[in-house]
Structure 1
């Protein structure tokens, strides 16, 4: 009897388990079939028969024929089933395509009969907040909870972890990952001699506190922000926006919480009493392209910028490709066409409008100039008469402008209020430099001319321009109120502050009341092309300015205050409510074909109640960084993981939707996302600290045959990653080991030799001396049409659009670049000099060179190869003496060691080309 009962129990549990195994999962079993076979005709782009399998409400509704496509619990009454098994090829689905296999039909039948349970894609379901790390049988290997998740997956895949990497390899990996440059020879020596248990942990904390930490992680963010020092399109005019880059560097260095960092970039201008840095943060979305080509429609390119901001926002913070939803509903994910424009409504009321000078701009001062402005303002405030006093302005530049205006010293940067112009051509290498024709004009919007008797033009007429400017009110043919003759000034050069040397030309104007649009109309004095004209500032002279009531010393201070240059940064600013634009759906994505008006909102898939939907950009940003958003924390931790391990837990970092890769470790991803948001309170440094302290991160990258066969791509993390360094890291590493690197943090973009790449039709870049030439790659001036050569060669994007993931390539051009690029060759010279000075023994020189480059001792086998190369090169230069002069600058510093140094340059060049040097192992 007992045996009979046991058999029954076994049968019962087996049937329960079998039933559980047979339960069809929509996400696992059904969705792949629908995506592959059905959505082409019944998805977001196209809904034949008024039937879509992309949205739940459509899938279970009536089709155009009146039949119900899916009847839960009864496949035989479901039109979907009838069509996929129909014998008539005109009626069978998929139409005009291979039929579903019997296995696929069985899956759909079983799913319908089991109740056709619909499931959201995993990424749109909030992560569980109570996930516990799995229990493992090797707690001695695990150094933190991350390792428990990783080890459990290894066990599942019948893999085991690799031993810890050697100290030298681990230190180099850590430096490159956390600050983007390798350790110095001295830093390696100190670490290797430190046998304390916490030596590695102390190195981690030291690097997290380094000022270079922000530079390394800002380099990652520049791809997402599509940062460039130019506007793109055909003209690719210069853009001054480096203050945004400095904001990002400082934010990472200060470990600004990621939610605050994100909100400030998306809506810093809408925060209560925004600071200067919060306004500069909004330049994230001023990195969009702008078109300065004559004859283009500003509104068209304003809209193009707004559309791109929507797509970028969703890619950066949601891991979602929304660009296609501009034209139609998403092909594979539940985003409707109109939802793109609901999101666009959040961004559609920014003030910028594709004008040349990119208003609105925010003006700030360098630290040195800031101190001087503050000192002058303090002096002026102390001397002001009571009737000239006024409340303090919130920002230093606006306070300076307010003081000057009140006292009648109205000096403005020409670009600070410029609205539109008509010049034949702009010289793209020179800001504000115009080619003048008789048809040329400039318009200034709503200038207050009350009590103004003269306008001063601070200008430079280059290449011999001479002519007249007439001043008109409200239109080109409006009332003429004055004129000024511009005389020849000869060719002008830029000064140390990167501005042209200018002279002031004054025009007396008729008495005028109120505000007017002011037009400057240009007439050439001589008839030939090439008249170039540069307008720097305009000054408005009042008839009875308040400044006349003050002393000469006071007025000198006022003049000095007016002349201190400020740095401008294009920012996002919201239009006032009375000027708010309406947002319409664009039919087929065309801005010329307006559909229904839409209100701001977020896609329904996120399950946010309509009554609580955000109504402005700030509320949208705050929702995005809230726990109600299922994606943002996952996308963020996945991005940081990818930077350390070479691949994300979700490899398709730009796409978490149904067409993206599934997470290799879904529980780990969700656990880290929740921990980042709660335990770490959105702070990046504790997250990175936890990652680099894990045993998973510290593994050796050596792999045996078995591991390669079982896991060729190292998806299951049973060994360390070997990934090629980024373009920036390769160049920065070369500069570091050669001793050339200029470690200055922050500041304007600089040019270096690599920018001049033999391109035609673009300006030559002036290299601003060795100090700037050898700064980190992050600071290299970035032109979208002609980015730095070595950056493109090593897979950097041109930053015309947001790039979440650089696809690594391996081409002969990369090797040629490493061998022959001027920066790499100069670094070889500098390294060779250090090798020669390190020791009199050539063998010691070679050992020193390798240790300096790789951060560890050289093996006997590699030393033998280097010695052969050195002796071959030495013999070559003895026989071909003229060739030994090629590292001339280096040889001059050494004297009689020409042949030895020349040979060492060859060795140094080879060291900087080693695979192990450009790879993080």
Structure 2
């Protein structure tokens, strides 16, 4: 078995490692006690007393060099390796402690090293630079006995099956084999499914589920008037073919891909070109790219063949999946920064596709699933052999624009046009002048003095330098001109990586060969190409038809999005601590069928949507609730709340102000590559842009820690982790938002003005309001109550709120920093109205009454829930 072979490989590596000196002696050598004593008595004190102040884990390591760690000395800092075992002359450490240049000699502070200390260091390096090795845990590399039992017992590790369709009590009830599996379980429990949903409810449900938007009144009329037996089938096909399907179901994958347009969390730096990955996902979903290919492109797109430059660029953009995770740019140590990013990539690749918490094995063998630490580092070797080209420097140092490294991006095809020569020279001169002024004043008494605005005087110098540097980057940066993206590529040097003892990046144990998980078998899995990172083979292993988890996980995600609860409720955890499937045979039926159907997401969604079970009503009887209160057996269609994006989009769609055009790029591309504070000017600009946008919510700026206000109350996605199931809370802030938010009030006023501008009486207007907002016609009683509310409101003194409308002149999508003009509502061109964080005032009591009615419907449970 694979697990045994990996254990043998690790045991061999352990035997080959010297028990005292890490990586510096052969297996047959015994540690020399005298050498050990020499290091501890003569070498370590030199490093501690003279070097640790600037080059250790206790401080930000100057020049990126650590001398309190053997690997740190071997890797070196910004200038290269500090020591070359066996060659003192080539060792920078010796060169620096013996340098005659007072500006280059080390240590910088205190007395220089004595001749004896230099001689000791030289002898130490000459004899191999021996260093006491880490104590390797005895359990490392040993397959835990209970792991094998788990491999044999846990349902998720077992090969995929194609179960026979069970007999049912009423075969005529079923539209699909999906229904037969569900009905068989209901028969066994002595329950019957409830009746079918009414047509208006069904249309609203499927339109929201497939596109994220409410049905338009004309779509409702057409469906209600169509009595043909395939009317609903044609609705589903229309929705699947619409561009809005990719926006909705692409958003589901973006949740799983922990998509965001900034690094978070400690120092939040923008990813200005992340929107290209967002658009890649939406386009791929709309094109129904087979899911196995979809995953392969995101894991190894840069390693796949392409027929054209356009296709090559698309594949490079796809690898943004691996590059756009959380990055702690405040991390002081390069190796820790790199291993944290590797951990993020392992978690994203495995939890999204396999539904496993593999990252738990970073520090120790998994406590519940058969995933030893060795498996984690077998995967880690694939990603340490991969350059995370997100455009960011890889450790703390400097400030402001020093975070951005354009060379650490993935170039696209084509050559950027050269910038105007004269303009370039002029800007370069200004940047050099500003930098010299900044360097000269920072940290000085004059620079630290407070100016009239209360800020240090030097801040103005820094701001000028950063502003000019941003202009220079905008002129010369290929990414800003569309010729580079965030992504990954293979490293120049690829190879296996050592286990990190207890997960600490500097504490290296035995090296393990690159490979895959051993929790389950994938027959025919390819061997890693030693000349490449192994990402292409990893993608093939993940998407193999013999991988038991990948098809199960994705069909379960689809079921969750259409039914509100997965067949496995823990959609991101198929391990031992996750839930067991409520219908295991149905899960395998769907997974096997999915693979046979060419891994098509659209065919999967279509089959579930056309099933009888999906079309059930949401009503519940006491008998059903007593027998199965959680609706685990799917005897009805469970009601569920719209998510944050659906609520916002539905409010905009009710008036008709929602733009279905894809905006160009993202607001984040206009941000400077500097630290962005949650309450700083950059965040304020993003909030203003989001408030003013009429685009679908999937296109709003998506920066970590800067959530658009219209989405924030309704549990938007957590952007730091793979999220297949969003949290749903009911808290007072949601009601307060719907009652007081300018966004809600403005959309309610827009609906009111639209209705009042139409011909007809108030009865007709009330009926149209219900159709626009709730996707159905009201009953006569509801019309009567609404008219009574309007009359009472107009008689009251309630319509005195201050409200204004704003317009951005000639801009369908206002840019950051755009000037907005406040205008009289009567003069507003409704097609140009945009949202801004101002209050709105109806120009008369009648408008105020209709605005209040529309807002009350927006705040209602029926508007916020799908039945």
DSSP 3-state at the match of 1:664: coil
Matched with 2:313 is 276
Matched with 1:456 is 425
DSSP 3-state at the match of 1:458: helix
1:158 equivalent among 175, 187, 190: 190
Matched with 2:502 is 588
Matched with 2:774 is 854
CA–CA separation in structure 1 for the residues paired with 2:668 and 2:479 = 27
From the superposition, tell whether residues 311 and 884 of structure 1 become closer, same or farther in structure 2 (CA, over 3 Å).
closer
CA–CA separation in structure 1 for the residues paired with 2:358 and 2:166 = 36
CA–CA separation in structure 1 for the residues paired with 2:138 and 2:653 = 55
2:659 equivalent among 742, 757, 779: 742
Residue 687 of structure 2 contacts residue 706 of structure 2 at CA under 8 Å; is this kept in 1?
A: no
1:718 equivalent among 612, 635, 638: 635
Residue 228 of structure 1 contacts residue 782 of structure 1 at CA under 8 Å; is this kept in 2?
A: yes
CA–CA separation in structure 1 for the residues paired with 2:853 and 2:430 = 53
Deviation at 1:537?
7.7
Equivalent positions of 1:667-686 (< 5 A) are 667-678=585-596, 680-686=597-603
DSSP 3-state at the match of 1:288: coil
From the superposition, tell whether residues 154 and 813 of structure 1 become closer, same or farther in structure 2 (CA, over 3 Å).
same
Residue 464 of structure 1 contacts residue 531 of structure 1 at CA under 8 Å; is this kept in 2?
A: no
Q: Structure 2 stretches of 5 or more lacking a match? A: 1-136, 394-402, 440-456, 670-675, 807-822, 829-840
Residue 326 of structure 1 contacts residue 588 of structure 1 at CA under 8 Å; is this kept in 2?
A: yes
Deviation at 1:126?
1.1
From the superposition, tell whether residues 266 and 701 of structure 1 become closer, same or farther in structure 2 (CA, over 3 Å).
same
Deviation at 1:769?
7.3
Matched with 1:574 is 490
2:852 equivalent among 906, 909, 915: 906
Matched with 2:795 is 875
Whether 1:602 aligns to 2:516 is yes
Matched with 2:348 is 312
Matched with 1:258 is 291
Note the alpha carbon deviations across 1:780-826, whole angstroms, 9 max, x for none.
Answer: 11221222234332112330222222121111111112222232221
DSSP 3-state at the match of 1:595: strand
Note the alpha carbon deviations across 1:450-481, whole angstroms, 9 max, x for none.
Answer: xxx998363596999585799xxxxxxxxxxx
Equivalent positions of 1:38-77 (< 5 A) are 54-56=146-148
Deviation at 1:626?
0.6
Matched with 2:264 is 232
Whether 1:144 aligns to 2:176 is yes
Whether 1:699 aligns to 2:616 is yes
DSSP 3-state at the match of 1:690: helix
From the superposition, tell whether residues 568 and 635 of structure 1 become closer, same or farther in structure 2 (CA, over 3 Å).
same
DSSP 3-state at the match of 1:352: strand
| Between structures 1 and 2, the one with greater strand share | 1
Matched with 1:892 is 826
Q: CA RMSD in A?
A: 3.6
Residue 751 of structure 1 contacts residue 773 of structure 1 at CA under 8 Å; is this kept in 2?
A: no
CA–CA separation in structure 2 for the residues paired with 1:881 and 1:689 = 47
Matched with 1:302 is 338
CA–CA separation in structure 2 for the residues paired with 1:636 and 1:611 = 20
Whether 1:337 aligns to 2:429 is no
Whether 1:781 aligns to 2:727 is no
From the superposition, tell whether residues 213 and 46 of structure 1 become closer, same or farther in structure 2 (CA, over 3 Å).
farther
TM-score computed with the length of structure 1 as normaliser: 0.66
CA–CA separation in structure 2 for the residues paired with 1:782 and 1:674 = 36
Identify the range of structure 1 (646-655 vs 821-830) with the bigger mean alpha-carbon deviation: 821-830
Deviation at 1:709?
1.3
Matched with 1:919 is 865
CA–CA separation in structure 2 for the residues paired with 1:51 and 1:537 = 57
Residue 431 of structure 2 contacts residue 469 of structure 2 at CA under 8 Å; is this kept in 1?
A: no
Q: Looking at CA atoms only, which structure, 1 or 2, has the larger radius of gyration?
A: 1
DSSP 3-state at the match of 2:653: helix
Deviation at 1:580?
2.5
Note the alpha carbon deviations across 1:86-118, whole angstroms, 9 max, x for none.
Answer: xxxxxxxxxxxxxxxxxxxxxxxxxxxxxxxx8
Residue 829 of structure 1 contacts residue 890 of structure 1 at CA under 8 Å; is this kept in 2?
A: no
Matched with 1:328 is 364
CA–CA separation in structure 2 for the residues paired with 1:807 and 1:883 = 34
Deviation at 1:525?
11
Matched with 1:201 is 233
Residue 296 of structure 2 contacts residue 540 of structure 2 at CA under 8 Å; is this kept in 1?
A: yes
Matched with 1:636 is 554
Deviation at 1:867?
2.7
Identify the range of structure 1 (346-355 vs 899-908) with the bigger mean alpha-carbon deviation: 346-355
Residue 885 of structure 1 contacts residue 891 of structure 1 at CA under 8 Å; is this kept in 2?
A: no
2:326 equivalent among 272, 285, 289: 289
Deviation at 1:348?
1.3
TM-score computed with the length of structure 2 as normaliser: 0.70
CA–CA separation in structure 1 for the residues paired with 2:696 and 2:794 = 33
Aligned length: 655
Deviation at 1:665?
0.5
CA–CA separation in structure 1 for the residues paired with 2:318 and 2:783 = 51
Residue 752 of structure 2 contacts residue 851 of structure 2 at CA under 8 Å; is this kept in 1?
A: yes
Deviation at 1:656?
0.7
Q: Structure 1 stretches of 5 or more lacking a match? A: 1-44, 60-117, 365-394, 413-452, 471-523, 540-558
CA–CA separation in structure 2 for the residues paired with 1:564 and 1:722 = 45
DSSP 3-state at the match of 1:648: coil
Note the alpha carbon deviations across 1:261-304, whole angstroms, 9 max, x for none.
Answer: 000001111112461111100000111123344x7333321220
Note the alpha carbon deviations across 1:323-357, whole angstroms, 9 max, x for none.
Answer: 21111111111111111111111111112375133
Matched with 2:85 is none
